[in-house]
Amino acid sequence: MSSNNQSDNKAPKVLIVGAGLGGLMLGAILERASIEYCIFERAVCVKPLGSALVLGPNILPVFEQLGLLEEIIKIASPVPSSDVYNIEMKKLGSITMKDIKKITGFDNIIFARPRLYELMLRQIPKHKILMNKKVLKAQETDEQVVIHCSDNTIYQGDILIGADGTYSSVRQNMYKVLEEKGLLPKSDMENLTIGHTCMVGVAEPKDPSKYPQLQEEVAQLATVVGEERLFWSVSNCPDNQMCWMLFYQFKSSTESREKQFRNSEWGPEANESMIKQFYDLSCPFGGTMGELIDDTPKDLISKVFVEEKMFHTWFYGRSVLLGDGAINAMQDAVILGNCLYDIVDATPKNIKAAFQDYYDQRYEHAKYMVNSSSLITKATLGQNWLEKAFRYALFNVIPEWVQQMSYAKMAEYRPQITFLPFAVNRGTGRVAPQKPSKRYTEEQAKMKGIAI
């Protein structure tokens, strides 16, 4: 692969804040593009947190491009449907995806999120991830961006990328500057909408004789809609792993804000309080949820707020943001990586053009996916009367082929790395066109002696 360096031009040096899946995906892409980068992670050490994660045709072609698809398939199982039950374990219905491989060429696959994280972590040279680096502030000039960390270290680069989640220090720093200049849209100043609090974990390998679902070649993803705004889900993954998630739906925005700002909610006592709410509830695979929780290492149980907000401001100056959520963040990383690859001279003008290109390519798709995800969550798990009516219609009135058609439409968007050979479409469905890399096109033409 050609280098990103040219004799008369200055290639960008990239500082990535956050070593989540989005940050690691971007690092893996920049590694293959020979772009200089470093990842800064505030945690002291890597903890394999999370529960089950489902990936499908919207992102799997990228893993095929990176040569990682076979490794992912080894740690995953196909998941043909998502089943929903009531508290008496009566099946309310399913969101089926049985024809998705025929349409897209890819199964939807499920696995324990920590295993994907470990795979992505291996793609980054160890010296390019710096742990225990909490970024306190960033300063920009026409020539560079400088970050200051809590351990009094300072780092310089050409581009700063916030891949550190909803409460990103990069976002906060950027928005503070924009607000002081009167350039921040009012909508970006508003609080996030917090719908749920969520606790997740992966139990130690279980006995297949007790949980026969573990013996199946395909995974089962079962969610229970309980009472008092509680719902929970369980899924089986390879190597007899069982992933679980517990959700509490807030009554109102007032309750969610109160919970958010009560620090005690994040201590061990708060975890135990939430666990008690679910401990004796039935597991859809048999037994109780408490049995799975007890078999999960306590330091690997994590609790987060599930928040919804579509920010309008993604970049300013030399700083740019990745979105939150696994697939959304990785898709952002793909498009941003493509745009950074096309920068051969890291001038402020070229950097701004690359950021604008990233925004133009991603914003509407990201907005669509956020809205779709919110709608599906409310339809399948919501507990007010309107959401219950929507769920009844989804499972009892709307034909299955409509579900399939809707999913196939969502699966058309499959962004890929534009400077690597594209994964071919092995399905019958349409793939949305993607903006090609001008630089890669020119380099390929030059290698072939073609004038363009």
Assigned token pair, 411: 């699966």
Residue 304 — φ and ψ, nearest 5°? -140, 160
* Digit-coded pLDDT (tens) for 83-127: 999 999 999 988 887 788 999 999 999 999 999 999 999 999 999
Beta partners for residue 95, in sequence order:
82
Q: Which CATH architecture has domain 193-308?
A: 2-Layer Sandwich (3.30)
Instruction: Report in angstroms the alpha-carbon separations of 438 from 27, 96, 336, 339, 435.
Output: 21, 39, 14, 10, 9
Does residue 399 have a pLDDT over 90? Answer: no
Exposed/middle/buried for 300, CB within 10 Å: 0-12, 13-18, 19+?
middle
Average pLDDT over residues 347-367: 96
Tokens 């109102």, residue?
252
Q: In what order do the strands lie in the sheet with 145-149?
A: 135-140, 145-149, 154-157
Average pLDDT over residues 416-428: 95
Average pLDDT over residues 190-206: 83
Note the pTM of the prediction, 2 decimals.
0.92
Does residue 4 have a pLDDT over 50? Answer: no
Beta partners for residue 78, in sequence order:
109
Query: Residue 203, Cα to own-chain centre: how many angstroms?
Result: 22
- CA pseudo-torsion sign 442, 444, 446, 449: negative
Query: Residue 40, Cα to own-chain centre: how many angstroms?
Result: 18
In this chain, the answer to whether the domains covering 13-47+114-189+313-382+400-447 and 193-308 adopt an identical fold is no
For residues 434 and 446, give the distance between their C-alpha atoms in angstroms, rounded to a whole number.
22
* Digit-coded pLDDT (tens) for 251-309: 655 655 555 544 334 445 568 888 999 999 999 999 999 999 999 998 889 888 777 77
Instruction: Report in angstroms the alpha-carbon separations of 399 from 13, 283, 380, 404.
Output: 52, 29, 16, 9
Average pLDDT over residues 341-368: 95
Tokens 């690359």, residue?
354
Instruction: Please report, for the chain, the start and end positions of each structural domain, with discontinuous segments joined by +.
Output: 13-47+114-189+313-382+400-447, 193-308
CB proximity list for 195: less than 8 A, separation 6 or greater = 249, 250, 256, 306, 307, 308, 377
Looking at domain 13-47+114-189+313-382+400-447, its CATH class is alpha beta
* Digit-coded pLDDT (tens) for 321-334: 999 889 999 999 99
Average pLDDT over residues 326-345: 96
